[in-house]
Structure 1
Protein backbone atom coordinates (compact mmCIF):
# COMPACT_ATOMS: atom_id res chain seq x y z
CA UNK A 1 0.00 0.00 0.00
CA UNK A 2 1.24 3.50 -0.83
CA UNK A 3 1.54 5.69 2.29
CA UNK A 4 -1.16 8.36 2.61
CA UNK A 5 1.34 11.23 2.60
CA UNK A 6 2.41 10.30 -0.95
CA UNK A 7 -1.09 10.03 -2.38
CA UNK A 8 -2.43 12.58 -4.86
CA UNK A 9 0.91 14.12 -5.56
CA UNK A 10 1.13 14.18 -9.31
CA UNK A 11 -0.08 14.53 -12.83
CA UNK A 12 0.94 11.44 -14.79
CA UNK A 13 0.73 10.90 -18.54
CA UNK A 14 0.52 7.30 -19.75
CA UNK A 15 1.27 6.63 -23.44
CA UNK A 16 0.41 3.15 -24.67
CA UNK A 17 -1.57 1.83 -27.63
CA UNK A 18 -3.00 -1.01 -25.52
CA UNK A 19 -6.34 0.02 -24.03
CA UNK A 20 -6.25 -2.62 -21.29
CA UNK A 21 -2.86 -1.41 -20.08
CA UNK A 22 -4.06 2.20 -20.12
CA UNK A 23 -7.14 1.34 -18.08
CA UNK A 24 -5.17 -0.74 -15.58
CA UNK A 25 -2.51 1.90 -14.98
CA UNK A 26 -5.09 4.69 -14.86
CA UNK A 27 -7.18 2.86 -12.29
CA UNK A 28 -4.26 2.01 -10.00
CA UNK A 29 -2.78 5.50 -10.06
CA UNK A 30 -6.18 7.16 -9.74
CA UNK A 31 -6.78 5.12 -6.57
CA UNK A 32 -3.57 6.68 -5.21
CA UNK A 33 -4.98 10.14 -5.95
CA UNK A 34 -2.95 11.02 -9.03
CA UNK A 35 -4.36 12.87 -12.00
CA UNK A 36 -3.86 10.48 -14.92
CA UNK A 37 -3.96 11.56 -18.56
CA UNK A 38 -3.76 8.92 -21.29
CA UNK A 39 -2.84 8.79 -24.96
CA UNK A 40 -3.09 5.79 -27.29
CA UNK A 41 -1.05 7.46 -30.03
CA UNK A 42 2.58 8.41 -29.59
CA UNK A 43 2.37 11.82 -31.30
CA UNK A 44 -0.69 12.75 -29.25
CA UNK A 45 1.15 11.66 -26.11
CA UNK A 46 4.26 13.64 -27.01
CA UNK A 47 2.20 16.80 -27.54
CA UNK A 48 0.43 16.17 -24.24
CA UNK A 49 3.77 15.87 -22.41
CA UNK A 50 5.02 19.19 -23.80
CA UNK A 51 1.73 21.02 -23.14
CA UNK A 52 0.77 19.56 -19.75
CA UNK A 53 4.16 19.49 -17.95
CA UNK A 54 3.42 16.28 -16.02
CA UNK A 55 5.24 15.08 -12.94
CA UNK A 56 5.82 11.70 -14.62
CA UNK A 57 5.43 9.96 -17.98
CA UNK A 58 4.89 6.22 -18.41
CA UNK A 59 5.76 5.33 -22.00
CA UNK A 60 5.37 2.04 -23.87
CA UNK A 61 8.23 1.09 -26.19
CA UNK A 62 6.19 -0.71 -28.86
CA UNK A 63 3.92 1.90 -30.41
CA UNK A 64 2.69 2.39 -33.99
CA UNK A 65 3.64 5.53 -35.97
CA UNK A 66 6.51 6.42 -33.59
CA UNK A 67 8.00 3.98 -31.08
CA UNK A 68 8.65 4.82 -27.45
CA UNK A 69 12.38 5.26 -28.04
CA UNK A 70 11.71 8.06 -30.52
CA UNK A 71 9.14 9.66 -28.22
CA UNK A 72 11.66 9.56 -25.36
CA UNK A 73 14.30 11.23 -27.54
CA UNK A 74 11.83 14.00 -28.49
CA UNK A 75 10.94 14.52 -24.82
CA UNK A 76 14.60 14.75 -23.80
CA UNK A 77 15.48 17.07 -26.71
CA UNK A 78 12.72 19.53 -25.79
CA UNK A 79 13.62 22.01 -23.03
CA UNK A 80 10.15 21.53 -21.51
CA UNK A 81 10.71 17.78 -21.22
CA UNK A 82 14.31 17.44 -20.16
CA UNK A 83 13.59 17.12 -16.43
CA UNK A 84 10.31 15.20 -16.59
CA UNK A 85 10.81 11.70 -15.17
CA UNK A 86 10.01 8.97 -17.72
CA UNK A 87 9.38 5.29 -17.02
CA UNK A 88 9.64 3.02 -20.05
CA UNK A 89 7.19 0.14 -20.33
CA UNK A 90 7.61 -3.07 -22.34
CA UNK A 91 6.72 -6.72 -22.58
CA UNK A 92 10.37 -7.21 -23.64
CA UNK A 93 12.12 -6.55 -20.34
CA UNK A 94 15.50 -7.81 -21.49
CA UNK A 95 18.83 -6.27 -20.50
CA UNK A 96 19.22 -4.65 -23.92
CA UNK A 97 15.96 -2.74 -23.64
CA UNK A 98 16.60 -1.77 -20.04
CA UNK A 99 20.10 -0.50 -20.85
CA UNK A 100 18.83 1.40 -23.90
CA UNK A 101 16.11 3.03 -21.79
CA UNK A 102 18.67 4.41 -19.35
CA UNK A 103 21.08 5.37 -22.15
CA UNK A 104 18.34 7.47 -23.78
CA UNK A 105 17.52 9.22 -20.52
CA UNK A 106 14.70 7.19 -18.99
CA UNK A 107 14.42 7.19 -15.22
CA UNK A 108 13.19 3.62 -14.89
CA UNK A 109 11.71 0.57 -16.57
CA UNK A 110 8.47 -1.34 -15.99
CA UNK A 111 7.85 -4.83 -17.35
CA UNK A 112 4.55 -6.06 -18.73
CA UNK A 113 2.51 -7.69 -17.43
CA UNK A 114 2.45 -5.10 -14.68
CA UNK A 115 2.40 -6.06 -11.04
CA UNK A 116 0.18 -3.62 -9.14
CA UNK A 117 2.47 -3.05 -6.17
CA UNK A 118 5.60 -2.77 -8.32
CA UNK A 119 3.92 -0.16 -10.53
CA UNK A 120 2.74 1.94 -7.60
CA UNK A 121 6.07 1.72 -5.74
CA UNK A 122 8.10 2.56 -8.85
CA UNK A 123 5.87 5.55 -9.61
CA UNK A 124 6.15 6.81 -6.02
CA UNK A 125 9.96 6.41 -5.90
CA UNK A 126 10.46 8.02 -9.31
CA UNK A 127 8.27 10.98 -8.45
CA UNK A 128 10.03 11.46 -5.09
CA UNK A 129 13.40 11.35 -6.81
CA UNK A 130 12.15 13.96 -9.29
CA UNK A 131 11.11 16.26 -6.42
CA UNK A 132 14.55 16.02 -4.82
CA UNK A 133 16.65 16.66 -7.93
Structure 2
Protein backbone atom coordinates (compact mmCIF):
# COMPACT_ATOMS: atom_id res chain seq x y z
CA UNK A 1 0.00 0.00 0.00
CA UNK A 2 1.42 3.35 -1.04
CA UNK A 3 0.68 6.69 0.56
CA UNK A 4 -0.53 8.91 -2.33
CA UNK A 5 -1.17 12.64 -2.11
CA UNK A 6 -3.75 14.00 -4.57
CA UNK A 7 -3.49 17.75 -5.13
CA UNK A 8 -6.31 19.27 -7.17
CA UNK A 9 -8.75 22.13 -6.60
CA UNK A 10 -11.62 20.17 -8.21
CA UNK A 11 -13.51 18.42 -5.40
CA UNK A 12 -15.23 16.00 -7.79
CA UNK A 13 -11.92 14.88 -9.29
CA UNK A 14 -10.34 14.55 -5.83
CA UNK A 15 -13.24 12.33 -4.79
CA UNK A 16 -12.97 10.16 -7.91
CA UNK A 17 -9.23 9.70 -7.50
CA UNK A 18 -9.53 9.09 -3.77
CA UNK A 19 -12.13 6.37 -4.40
CA UNK A 20 -10.13 4.74 -7.23
CA UNK A 21 -6.81 4.75 -5.38
CA UNK A 22 -8.34 3.65 -2.06
CA UNK A 23 -10.08 0.75 -3.79
CA UNK A 24 -6.65 -0.29 -5.09
CA UNK A 25 -5.33 -0.40 -1.52
CA UNK A 26 -3.55 2.96 -1.32
CA UNK A 27 -3.72 5.38 1.59
CA UNK A 28 -4.88 8.66 0.05
CA UNK A 29 -4.17 12.17 1.28
CA UNK A 30 -5.80 15.19 -0.37
CA UNK A 31 -4.90 18.84 -0.86
CA UNK A 32 -6.99 21.59 -2.46
CA UNK A 33 -4.21 24.08 -3.16
CA UNK A 34 -0.48 24.28 -3.65
CA UNK A 35 0.39 25.59 -0.20
CA UNK A 36 -1.27 22.57 1.39
CA UNK A 37 0.82 20.20 -0.73
CA UNK A 38 4.13 21.41 0.69
CA UNK A 39 2.87 21.01 4.27
CA UNK A 40 1.47 17.53 3.64
CA UNK A 41 4.63 16.31 1.91
CA UNK A 42 6.73 17.52 4.85
CA UNK A 43 4.38 16.15 7.54
CA UNK A 44 2.96 12.98 5.96
CA UNK A 45 5.80 11.77 3.71
CA UNK A 46 3.75 10.44 0.79
CA UNK A 47 5.24 7.85 -1.56
CA UNK A 48 3.87 9.75 -4.57
CA UNK A 49 2.12 13.03 -5.43
CA UNK A 50 -0.53 13.44 -8.15
CA UNK A 51 -0.38 17.17 -8.84
CA UNK A 52 -2.62 19.51 -10.85
CA UNK A 53 -0.91 22.46 -12.50
CA UNK A 54 -3.71 25.00 -12.12
CA UNK A 55 -4.51 25.48 -8.43
CA UNK A 56 -5.10 28.47 -6.17
CA UNK A 57 -2.51 29.86 -3.75
CA UNK A 58 0.42 28.27 -5.62
CA UNK A 59 0.29 26.58 -9.01
CA UNK A 60 1.51 23.03 -9.51
CA UNK A 61 4.65 24.04 -11.39
CA UNK A 62 5.80 26.19 -8.45
CA UNK A 63 4.92 23.38 -6.03
CA UNK A 64 6.97 20.96 -8.15
CA UNK A 65 9.89 23.42 -8.28
CA UNK A 66 9.86 23.75 -4.47
CA UNK A 67 9.52 20.01 -3.87
CA UNK A 68 12.48 19.22 -6.10
CA UNK A 69 14.56 21.94 -4.40
CA UNK A 70 13.90 20.45 -0.94
CA UNK A 71 16.39 17.66 -0.14
CA UNK A 72 13.81 15.90 2.07
CA UNK A 73 11.13 15.92 -0.65
CA UNK A 74 13.13 15.79 -3.88
CA UNK A 75 12.94 12.00 -4.19
CA UNK A 76 9.13 11.87 -4.01
CA UNK A 77 7.84 11.11 -7.52
CA UNK A 78 5.28 13.55 -8.91
CA UNK A 79 2.73 12.80 -11.61
CA UNK A 80 1.43 16.01 -13.16
CA UNK A 81 -2.29 15.54 -13.95
CA UNK A 82 -3.52 18.66 -15.70
CA UNK A 83 -5.54 20.11 -18.56
CA UNK A 84 -2.44 21.96 -19.79
CA UNK A 85 -1.49 20.09 -22.94
CA UNK A 86 0.83 22.43 -24.82
CA UNK A 87 4.25 21.02 -25.57
CA UNK A 88 5.88 23.76 -23.48
CA UNK A 89 3.77 22.75 -20.45
CA UNK A 90 4.51 19.03 -20.78
CA UNK A 91 8.22 19.52 -21.40
CA UNK A 92 8.40 22.18 -18.69
CA UNK A 93 6.83 19.88 -16.11
CA UNK A 94 9.20 17.06 -16.98
CA UNK A 95 12.20 19.41 -16.90
CA UNK A 96 11.17 20.59 -13.43
CA UNK A 97 11.35 16.98 -12.26
CA UNK A 98 7.91 15.43 -12.77
CA UNK A 99 8.22 11.66 -13.07
CA UNK A 100 5.23 11.57 -15.42
CA UNK A 101 2.75 13.94 -17.09
CA UNK A 102 -0.84 13.00 -17.85
CA UNK A 103 -3.31 15.31 -19.63
CA UNK A 104 -6.98 15.69 -18.62
CA UNK A 105 -9.32 14.23 -19.62
CA UNK A 106 -7.56 11.03 -18.69
CA UNK A 107 -8.29 7.33 -18.30
CA UNK A 108 -8.51 6.56 -14.56
CA UNK A 109 -7.10 3.04 -14.98
CA UNK A 110 -4.10 4.47 -16.84
CA UNK A 111 -3.39 6.83 -13.95
CA UNK A 112 -3.78 3.94 -11.52
CA UNK A 113 -1.18 1.90 -13.41
CA UNK A 114 1.22 4.85 -13.47
CA UNK A 115 0.75 5.29 -9.71
CA UNK A 116 1.50 1.60 -9.13
CA UNK A 117 4.62 1.77 -11.28
CA UNK A 118 6.06 4.88 -9.64
CA UNK A 119 4.98 4.33 -6.03
CA UNK A 120 6.33 0.79 -5.60
CA UNK A 121 10.06 1.64 -5.63
CA UNK A 122 9.45 4.76 -3.55
CA UNK A 123 7.51 2.77 -0.96
CA UNK A 124 10.43 0.34 -0.56
CA UNK A 125 12.83 3.27 -0.15
CA UNK A 126 10.59 4.89 2.50
CA UNK A 127 10.21 1.57 4.35
CA UNK A 128 14.01 1.17 4.44
CA UNK A 129 14.43 4.73 5.71
CA UNK A 130 11.87 4.15 8.47
CA UNK A 131 13.75 1.05 9.70
CA UNK A 132 17.13 2.78 9.97
CA UNK A 133 18.09 3.91 13.47
CA UNK A 134 18.34 7.65 13.88
Report the TM-score range of the alignment, normalised by the length of the smaller protein.
Answer: 0.7 to 0.9
- Structure 1 segments of 4+ aligned residues over 2 angstroms from their partners: 128-133
Q: TM-score, normalised by structure 1?
A: 0.87
Alpha-carbon distance in structure 1 between the residues aligned to 2:122 and 2:45: 13
Contact 1:53/1:80 (8 A) holds in 2: no
Q: TM-score, normalised by structure 2?
A: 0.87
Alpha-carbon distance in structure 2 between the residues aligned to 1:44 and 1:93: 24
Aligned-residue offset at 1:21: 1.0
| Matching of residue 22 in structure 1 with residue 14 in structure 2 | yes
Alpha-carbon distance in structure 2 between the residues aligned to 1:131 and 1:20: 27
Which residue pairs with 2:98 in the alignment? 106
| Matching of residue 50 in structure 1 with residue 42 in structure 2 | yes
Alpha-carbon distance in structure 1 between the residues aligned to 2:31 and 2:120: 24
Aligned residues: 125
Which blocks of at least 5 consecutive residues in structure 2 are unaligned?
Answer: 126-134
Aligned-residue offset at 1:130: 3.6
Aligned-residue offset at 1:131: 5.5
Which blocks of at least 5 consecutive residues in structure 1 are unaligned?
Answer: 1-8
* Aligned positions of 1:50-129 closer than 5 A: 50-129=42-121
Alpha-carbon distance in structure 1 between the residues aligned to 2:85 and 2:121: 22
